[in-house]
């Protein structure tokens, strides 16, 4: 019996040792609570004027807007060089964010407008858009256009520029002249050959690897 009482005392001691309030009840504000301590009655203090969040410094206005400095005229150059990597990234982002409406070809025949979206987008291959400066496409993505929502919050500025570069590549792909086609390239290009079962929509199709002869082209 004595043993049991000792054990109970020990258990109580251990449990009570956890009961300290020392630093648990500190004066503090709930987020965005009112406070009469400050003149503006806000407990949340505004950041120091001129504070810029890390990675958000927009020192280059062209990079951030596509507009020539101090104007609302879109510029027609890339703020960084186009590499294979940039184009691949642009293609990937375009296929995710734009192709549902504009189609992978950019002709405006995406799936969304055929399923009730109020407006069919114009083709990127019409003359007006082929002549539109690069900054214009950046601006359309940044601020939206008519029925089209803006994509500034979903797509980073770097990725929006990558998409711009890819859109130009798409336009070129539909409008190249015969002289611009690499020697040996069949026109139209041969349809892709798939490995295994034909694609059924359930899994991504796997392309047959190019033959050594094709690789050299
Ligand atoms: C939800 C469907 C939808 C998506 C997604 C979409 N667009 Fe659009 N886009 C439209 C529609 C619709 C228009 C025509 C808007 C209008 O005229 O009111 C348009 C117009 C445009 C235009 C032409 C503007 C002009 O001067 O005629 C460009 C360029 C464009 N979109 C680029 C993009 C790019 C790049 C993306 C991907 C980041 C994208 N869009 C994603 C629906 C979409």
Residue 127 burial (C-beta neighbours within 10 Å; 0-12, 13-18, 19+): exposed
CA distances 165 to 110, 159, 210, Å, are: 20, 10, 26
Task: Report yes or no: 97 and 166 within 8 Å, Cβ to Cβ.
Answer: no
For every residue of 124-184, DSSP letters joined together read TTSHHHHHS-HHHHHHHHHH-BTTBPP-TTTS-HHHHHHHHHHHHHHHHHHH--GGGSPTT
Contacts of 3 (CB under 8 A, 6+ apart): none
pLDDT tens column, 104-116: 999 999 999 989 8
pTM of the model: 0.73
- At residue 18, the pLDDT reads 64
Binding site membership of 152 for ligand 1 (Cβ less than 6 Å): no
Contacts of 41 (CB under 8 A, 6+ apart): 34, 35
For atom 37 of ligand 1, which residue has the closest CA? 98
Binding site membership of 161 for ligand 1 (Cβ less than 6 Å): no
Mean pLDDT of the chain: 87
Task: Report yes or no: 143 and 123 within 8 Å, Cβ to Cβ.
Answer: no
Q: Is 3.40.47.10 the CATH number for 82-177?
A: no
pLDDT tens column, 59-85: 888 999 999 988 999 999 999 999 999
CA distance 69 to 66: 9
Domain ranges of the chain: 82-177
Kindly report the CA angle at 33 between 30 and 39, in degrees rounded to 5?
A: 130
b/e per residue 177-198 (b: at least 16 CB within 10 A): eeeeeeeeeeeeeeeeeeeeee
Please say whether the dihedral angle defined by the alpha carbons of residues 207, 213, 215 and 217, taken in this order, is positive or negative.
negative
Among the atoms of ligand 1, which is closest to the Cα of residue 163?
A: 35
Binding site membership of 70 for ligand 1 (Cβ less than 6 Å): no
pLDDT tens column, 118-162: 899 999 999 999 999 999 999 999 999 999 999 999 999 999 999
Binding site membership of 108 for ligand 1 (Cβ less than 6 Å): no
How many Å lie between the centroid of ligand 1 and the Cα of residue 72? 20
- At residue 16, the pLDDT reads 66
- At residue 2, the pLDDT reads 62
- Residue 170: name the closest of 98, 91, 109 by CA: 91
Asked if the peptide bond before residue 58 counts as cis, ω within 30 degrees of 0, the response is: no
């Amino acid at each position: 019996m004595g043993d049991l009482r000792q054990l109970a005392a020990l258990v109580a001691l251990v449990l009570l040792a956890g009961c300290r309030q020392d630093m648990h009840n500190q004066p503090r504000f709930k987020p965005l609570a009112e406070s009469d301590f400050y003149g503006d009655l806000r407990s949340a203090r505004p950041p120091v004027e001129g504070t810029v969040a890390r990675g958000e410094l927009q020192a280059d206005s062209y990079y951030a807007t596509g507009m020539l400095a101090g104007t609302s005229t879109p510029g027609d150059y890339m703020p960084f060089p186009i590499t294979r990597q940039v184009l691949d990234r642009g293609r990937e982002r375009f296929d995710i964010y734009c192709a549902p409406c504009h189609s992978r070809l950019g002709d405006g025949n995406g799936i969304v407008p055929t399923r009730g979206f109020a407006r069919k987008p114009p083709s990127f291959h019409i003359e007006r858009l082929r002549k539109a400066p690069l900054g214009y496409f950046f601006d359309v993505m940044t601020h939206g256009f008519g029925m089209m929502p803006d994509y500034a919050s979903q797509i980073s500025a770097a990725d929006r520029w990558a998409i711009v570069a890819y859109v130009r590549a798409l336009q070129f792909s539909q409008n190249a002249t015969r002289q611009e086609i690499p020697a040996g390239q069949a026109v139209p290009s041969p349809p892709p050959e798939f490995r295994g079962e034909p694609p059924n929509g359930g899994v991504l199709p796997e392309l047959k690897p190019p033959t050594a002869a094709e690789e050299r082209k």
